[in-house]
C-alpha cells in the first residue's frame, strides 16, 4: 500500500482525523471518510451513467453516477476529480464545479459492506469520450437527465443509494428552471 491508496478519515464534523488504506475502510464497519461523486454532461446535455464492474467490493453491477473517488491526503478534490475521470473512465473533463458541497450519506449493501462518506457532488463537462477501465465500469450510457431522474424514481433499487439520494437534490436531475448544467 502506498500513500496514494490512502483515504482521509473524518470526525463527525468533517475535520480530518487521520488517514487509512482505502482497502481497510470499505467493510462492515466503515469509518467516516472523504469522497466525491461526479456527474458528467456531454455537449448534447446528456449525463453519463455507469454500471459498476462486478468485481467492485460494494454495489457491484449497479448503475450509478458518472464516477466517484477519494481524494488522496493533501490532494485538492477538484484535482482528484480530474485524476479519477482519467483512471476510471479514460476521459478528460472540464468545467468541474461543486454542486452539492455538503452531501453526506451512509448506506449498507446486500453483502453488508458499508459506505460512510462526506461526499461533495460535482458536475463537469466531457472533454473527451469515455474509455472505461473494465475493473471499474462494465457499461456506460449517455442519457437525458429527465429520463435518468424518472428511472431513479421508478426503480431506485437498480441504482446506487448515493445516486438515489443525489437525484433528490441535484439541480441537473430535478425538474424546472436551472435543471441543466450550464
**Cα–Cα distance between 94 and 50 in angstroms, integer?**
19
DSSP code per residue over 127-145: SS-----TTTEEEEEEE-H
- Active-site residue, 68 included: yes
DSSP state of 62: -
- Active-site residue, 119 included: no
Q: How many CB atoms neighbour CB 21 within 10 A?
A: 12
Angle at 46 between CA 159 and CA 171, to 5 degrees: 70
Set 115, 117, 119, 136: catalytic member: 117
Set 68, 115, 119, 136: catalytic member: 68
Which residues make Cβ contacts (< 8 Å) with residue 21, sequence separation at least 6? Answer: 1, 5, 6, 7
Terminal Cα-to-Cα distance of the chain (whole angstroms): 40
The answer to whether the CB of 62 falls within 8 A of the CB of 159 is: yes
Which residues does the annotation mark as catalytic?
68, 117
Amino acid at each position: 500500500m502506498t500513500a496514494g491508496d490512502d483515504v482521509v478519515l473524518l470526525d463527525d464534523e468533517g475535520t480530518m482525523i487521520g488517514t487509512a488504506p482505502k482497502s481497510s475502510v470499505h467493510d462492515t464497519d466503515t469509518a467516516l471518510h472523504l469522497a466525491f461523486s461526479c456527474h458528467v454532461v456531454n455537449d448534447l446535455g446528456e449525463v453519463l451513467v455507469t454500471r459498476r464492474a462486478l468485481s467492485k467490493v460494494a454495489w457491484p453491477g449497479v448503475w450509478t453516477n458518472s464516477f466517484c473517488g477519494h481524494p488522496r491526503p493533501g490532494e485538492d478534490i477538484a484535482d482528484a476529480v480530474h485524476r479519477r475521470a482519467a483512471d476510471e473512465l479514460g476521459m478528460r473533463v472540464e468545467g468541474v464545479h461543486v454542486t452539492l458541497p455538503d452531501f453526506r450519506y451512509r448506506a449498507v449493501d446486500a453483502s453488508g459492506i458499508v459506505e460512510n462518506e462526506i461526499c461533495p457532488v460535482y458536475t463537469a463537462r466531457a472533454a473527451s469520450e469515455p474509455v472505461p477501465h473494465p475493473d471499474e465500469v462494465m457499461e456506460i450510457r449517455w442519457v437525458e437527465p429527465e429520463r435518468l431522474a424518472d428511472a431513479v424514481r421508478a426503480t431506485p433499487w437498480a441504482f446506487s443509494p448515493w445516486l438515489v439520494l443525489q437525484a433528490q437534490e441535484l439541480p441537473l436531475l430535478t425538474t424546472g428552471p436551472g435543471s441543466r448544467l450550464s
